[in-house]
Amino acid sequence: MKNFLLAILVLVGATQSLASDKLVVGYYPSWNRSVYPHTAVQYQNLTHIAHAFIGPMVDGNLEVPSGFLYPELIQTAHANGVKVVVSLGGWGTYSDRFAPLAADTAARHRFVQNLKNFCVTNGYDGADIDWEYPKNATERTNMRLLISELRQAFNTTTPALLLAMAGPATNWSGQWFDFSAMMNDFNWIGIMTYDFYGAWTSKAGHNSALYGAYPPNDQGWVDYGVQYYNVTRGVPKSKLLIGIPFYGQQFNASALWGTSTGATQVVYYSIAPKLQQGWTRYWDAGSQVPYMISPTGNQLISYDDSQSVAAKCNYVNSTDVAGAIIWAIGQDGVGARQPLLETVGAGLLRPTSVAQHVGGAVPERFVLKQNYPNPFNGATHIRYGIPESGLVSLRVFDLLGREVHTLAEGEHAAGEFDATISSERLSSGVYIYRLTWQGRAISKTLTVLR
């Protein structure tokens, strides 16, 4: 829908000026096509789609999985102003082929030309290299040669094809990437700031903490990854995108940082319903991410929700990082909504106005006040309060019952909040705004006059 109320909710923190030139790159796994077709994509909440994955062959040819090509996705994305890059590699066999390919001069040259021609022929705007990971100094040198040759070939098209990379968040693998030599060849580098804890760790920890906290998050966190690239490796923030996962890790563990006997990856649309199934949600204020524990107390899920995604968007805006990559769009579909992607779009692409926790005395009751001024043309405020912490939703609908925007979605602390709404792209007329909290709802109307 075109008539959006442009707003962003910052659950805790002061009002700040936000930029609107951020990148939001959503990975679209080709194997999800049947359950998440191109018609379901919220293009308004993306700037780029990374169509994943095709693979390099050792001889320089390309392996394109059966059913991968999806011209309707590219055409619809372009019609909505969204660029599409093809992703190569990913964890496993495809990435394993990069090393022998890059070591062979003839195969490397053949690969570069094949990839360039594949992008041009199929309408892609560029390519995303996901080599997980070079393992030694020789592979580091050969990767640098491969990327340099790709950049030179991509520059011969009009416009020049985009070139991006997905990179590790720590020095464990990052040491084998020659960032100083390659960073000018990339349009962006997406830091994979997730999978810090999982089946490979002996304790339950955050899948994608924004900050380290006590006990020490010794596997890393989002800000750690940004500092590693920017401060330690000298990559400017204007090249960096943080990773936002639309999935979590379910541990066989009874407490955060406690012993884990195994874990599995679970997507957000499977996690969200557990809040109505007796699981208890907790918020780690230090790490700025939630986790939940099962009714039996022997399972723990570390994940991201609307509150933590909003915090990460706020981090991107306040630190001048270029934007975010998402693995993977479609994994947050809850009913007809995609709440995590909607939060990213509001936080990074439509930063017109801000709502904030205004503090003061905790209200004695659940309250939604009339927006002021009303009617309005320009901006108006909606103030609301909750007497106890809980899940809050503030949404706006037209008179036909169609939702035009979500102003708040996620866990709130007890207190009073103020949402500022812009009418920049809102038609004249009457709209309904509805606040829900702990199964209760209050609705009021607002009027836009031109």
Catalytic residues: 132
Close Cβ partners of 83 (under 8 Å, ≥ 6 residues apart): 47, 48, 49, 77, 125, 126, 162
Angstrom distance (rounded) from CA 403 to CA 417: 21
Residue with tokens 């011969």: 156
Q: Strand ranges (DSSP E) for 147-302? A: 162-167, 188-191, 240-245, 247-251, 263-267, 280-284, 289-293, 300-302
Angstrom distance (rounded) from CA 10 to CA 311: 7
- Cα angle vertex 54, ends 171, 33, to 5°? 110
**Residue 319: other Cβ atoms inside 10 A:** 14
User: Is 41:328 a contact under the CB 8 Å cutoff?
Assistant: no
The 3-state DSSP class for residue 435 equals: strand
**Residue 127: other Cβ atoms inside 10 A:** 24
User: Is 115:68 a contact under the CB 8 Å cutoff?
Assistant: no
Residue with tokens 């496993």: 92
The 3-state DSSP class for residue 396 equals: strand
